Structure 1
């Protein structure tokens, strides 16, 4: 039974909705109905949201599998916290003007760490 992963899935879903609302806000302010019209703010908002959509579901799936395979709560929480912190830092660092590159990089590092550790743990637990 999943008891920990749903907490991180919910928190990341809230982050994703916030990023989506930002895309809508930028669309409205720039009067951009479809696409990005070459607008740098629109491109940035879209990429921040898309980056979250590209990495978070896959990572959450791996974390859920690790939890379902019986991993301890400490590992599952560390994976979830790493993913959540990574997504928050990436979005914040990327979203600033000028970008805070180190936060963006740390965010990706934490996201990749969560994915890789969850993948390795999943393999270990399955074997």
Structure 2
């Protein structure tokens, strides 16, 4: 049940990252070519933030689920889930939303 809570919260943030990529793709030239970013730095950073999320979060949630089934203490599960959520939100915002020159 604890893992499901963090999976739901992370799923909401994943939706935010997805909408950010879609919004940026809508304003780039030749938007019908979805696999080329044409050097748009904000779009490239957003795509990587989105991709990095999907590369790591499912595996950690799976490991959390196994730990929960093995009856790891709820406190440890909450610490792991909170750290994962905070880390992913910080990475997603700093890498996908903020622009550095």
TM over 0.5: yes
Deviation at 1:37, TM superposition (A): 2.2
**Structure-2 separation of matches of 1:39 and 1:29:** 10
Task: With the length of structure 2 as denominator, give the TM-score of the two structures.
Answer: 0.90
Contact 2:3 2:68 in 1 (8 A): yes
Provide the C-alpha distance between the structure 2 equivalents of 1:97 and 1:57, rounded to a whole number of angstroms: 27
| TM-score with structure 1 setting the length | 0.72
The ranges of structure 1 where at least 4 consecutive aligned residues each deviate by more than 3 angstroms after the TM superposition are none
Aligned to 1:30: 28
**Gap runs ≥5 in structure 1:** 100-127
Name 1:64's counterpart in structure 2: 65
More relative contact order, 1 or 2 (CA 8 Å, 6+ apart): 2
Inter-partner Cα distance in structure 2 for 1:18 and 1:74: 28
1:61-112 deviations in Å (ceiling 9; x for gaps): 111110010111101100100100010011112131128xxxxxxxxxxxxx
1:49 alignment partner in structure 2: 50
Aligned-residue RMSD, C-alpha: 1.3
